[in-house]
Chain A
Amino acid sequence: MKKTKLYILAVLFIMIPKTSFGLIEVDITRGNLNPLPIAVSPLFVESKSVKEFQNLLKKENIGEDISSVVENNLKSSGLFNPLKKEAFLQKPDIAHLKPRFEDWSLIKAQALITGEVKFENDKLRVEFRLWDVLAGKEMMALAFTTVPDNWRRVGHIITDKVYQRLTGEKGYFDTRIIYVSEEGPKTKRVKKLAIMDQDGYNTKYLTLGNELVLTPRFNPTNQMVTYLSYFKNLPRVYLLDIETGVQEVVGDFPGMTFAPRFSPDGKKIIMSFAKDGNSEIYTMDLENRIVEKITNHPSIDTSPSFSPDGKYICFNSDRSGYQQIYVMKSDGSKVKRISFGNGLYGTPVWSPRGDLIAFTKLHKGKFYIGVMRVDGSGERLLTENYYQEAPSWSPNGRVLIFYRETKSDSEGKGFSAKLWSIDLTGYNERLVDTKTDASDPSWSSLLSE
């Protein structure tokens, strides 16, 4: 498997280590009712570079565009309140050299981001600084270079660095979402694989919609996708290389394979294989093609998901009579039921931090997205709705993305399927913008790691 291709060419310019003593900190473990007021000064575009960016990117002011990417990201996190630019008193170039902290504290900013963009050797070079307005101190300074077309990613990387500096945890902004784009009436829904940036931009379609496709999931390096396709009306798990477009069937099973996911090292695909009315969980090693049967029970065993260390698997089974969540060792031994609340439980997915399992729950006609500890204790329901399912974790384990469907009338009108995200705290529920109706989202890992 290939290593992640890094688009960032030169990284790290100056990073002044400072004790965080007395500087701003943002607590992300609780619902944040007082988001931190932050000023994102438009990045200053060096005068010689203005024309170049206009020609190349058709952008009048790329500095402003990048800073609005940052602002939108910060706002969507629910932890920050980006202030209106009209109130800014200091010019971007001067602010970047030496902010007049009194001016920024006057508009109630507690943190300030400044920066500069240049066109240098056919590359876009950005440098930015994060300032603590009240302490009157620089908190971080960083520069990097990339191809100009990647300008939105520049905004995402800046957000990740600022988020990490202020919260102490890695961000999730330089990431993508793969999902199923949906169009047409419910009885003849056309579904395509689609991929987009985490903020809804740069949507690309990976299939044409000729066959039904479901449940795409990234590999750990985000270059491969495994999904279910009804190609030639044979529902099978496929593997797709996003860059080359090469697709292949995973394994040679005499029946439907479905519910695929990668192992955390990316070397195996875990999935269900259905035969004679019984679905069991299998893995296939992508290098030596060895197939292993993991479960052995005359009930439905599906929706498997590895723990981040690869030692355990959580899955969905109706061996108790109804859909419940189970955990077992990765060789299939020591199967243990962990969901015991009222209702049915499905789609378990292990948090990248390892401590929680997110799930869908159906109880009394309502659907919930929730989390529980890996031993089944501490169940917490984050959101209730008419229909929603299939949570997927942000790479830092702080946000869940899932899809939600609305009720339709007897003619099928009123139906929609949309992506939503919610913080682990249960706050900050947001509609994620997609060009079409959407379902089955899967969040990538950080692209720039």
Chain B
Amino acid sequence: MKLNKIFKNILLVVFAGIMLSACATKKVTNQMQGDVYTGKDTVEYLASGVPDRVFFATNESVLTTASRETLRKQAGWLRKNSKINVVLEGHADERGTREYNLALGERRANAAKDYLMTYGISGNRISVISYGKERPVDSGSNPLAWSKNRRSVTVKAN
């Protein structure tokens, strides 16, 4: 009994610790949520209200809620403009080895491609290219600059 109680307390403490550390990393500023860029600084528009890019967390290729919303807008725009093809350009920040970042950029661009396809855009209209860390938009060496560089950008191909 006693042991069980101690065990429970330990679990509680550990759990609280995890919660705290999770909170510590999920810092929300006006331009970043966690370390995903949420600002508008570098964003361009494919059409009015259709942002051209989505952003990723460090080492991640998971689409955030905001990214999915952006991609749904892109899918809507692509459905209306069925003659337009796009290139998805995947990028990584400068804090990773060059070769791994090439693969990571490709994975990010494909995450965006898959999402566009689930919203009815044919894979034939989408090509993918990774630039790894070779083409940053922000040349600063700081977390905000890196968050702007971890991106997949949808570019008109024709």
Contact = CB atoms under 8 A, between A and B. Distances in A.
Contacts of B103: 258, 272, 274, 279, 300, 302
A191 to B, nearest CB: 8
Given A235-B130, A277-B111, A316 B141 contact: no
Contacts of B94: 387, 405
A387 B130 CA distance: 22
Interface in A382-440: 387, 389-390, 405, 407-412, 415, 439-440
A259 B99 contact: yes
Contacts of B137: 187
B140 A411 contact: yes
B110 interface: yes
Given A274-B106, A277-B110, A415-B141, A316 B100 contact: yes
Interface residues of A, number: 46
B79 interface: no
A270 to B, nearest CB: 12
Contacts of A387: 94-95
A319 interface: no
Interface in B101-158: 102-104, 106-107, 109-111, 114, 128-131, 134-142, 145
Contacts of B96: 323, 346, 362
Contacts, number: 107
A215 B99 CA distance: 8
B97 interface: yes
B141 A258 contact: no
Contacts of A300: 100, 103-104, 107
B72 interface: no
Nearest to A277: B110
B99 A186 contact: no
B145 A410 contact: yes
Considering residues B61, B102, B111, B114, which has the most beta carbons from chain A within 10 angstroms of its beta carbon? B102
A323 B100 contact: yes
B109 to A, nearest CB: 8
A164 B61 CA distance: 50
Nearest to B114: A277
Contacts of A318: 100
A214 B95 CA distance: 17
Contact of A277 (B106, B140, B145): B106
Nearest to B141: A407
Given A212-B134, A346-B97, A390-B97, A410 B140 contact: yes
A263 interface: no
B132 to A, nearest CB: 8
A390 B98 CA distance: 8
A293 to B, nearest CB: 16
A439 B132 CA distance: 15
Nearest to B87: A233
Nearest to B59: A322
Contacts of B129: 233, 235, 256
A185 interface: yes
Nearest to A303: B99
Contacts of B100: 300, 302-303, 316, 318, 323, 346
B135 to A, nearest CB: 7
Given A276-B110, A277-B61, A407-B141, A186 B102 contact: no
B139 A186 contact: yes
B95 A258 contact: no
A347 interface: yes
Contacts of B59: 322-323, 344
B59 to A, nearest CB: 7
A186 B110 contact: no
A410 B141 CA distance: 7
A137 interface: no
Contacts of A409: 140-141
Contacts of A346: 96-97, 99-100
Given A256-B130, A408-B140, A187 B102 contact: no
Interface string A255-269: 110110000000000
A185 B99 contact: no
Contacts of B138: 187
A409 B140 CA distance: 5
Interface in A296-341: 300, 302-303, 316, 318, 322-323
A408 B139 contact: yes
A346 B135 CA distance: 21
21 contacts: A187-B136, A212-B134, A214-B98, A235-B102, A235-B129, A256-B130, A259-B99, A274-B102, A274-B107, A278-B107, A300-B104, A302-B103, A303-B97, A316-B100, A318-B100, A387-B95, A390-B97, A408-B139, A409-B141, A410-B142, A439-B98
Given A228-B102, A277-B109, A387-B95, 19 more contacts: A187-B135, A214-B98, A215-B99, A233-B129, A256-B102, A256-B129, A279-B106, A300-B100, A300-B103, A302-B100, A316-B100, A344-B59, A347-B97, A389-B97, A408-B139, A408-B140, A409-B140, A410-B142, A410-B145
Closest 3 CB pairs of A and B: A412-B139, A277-B110, A346-B97
Interface of A: 185-187, 189, 212, 214-215, 228, 233, 235, 255-256, 258-259, 272, 274, 276-279, 300, 302-303, 316, 318, 322-323, 344, 346-347, 360, 362, 365, 387, 389-390, 405, 407-412, 415, 439-440
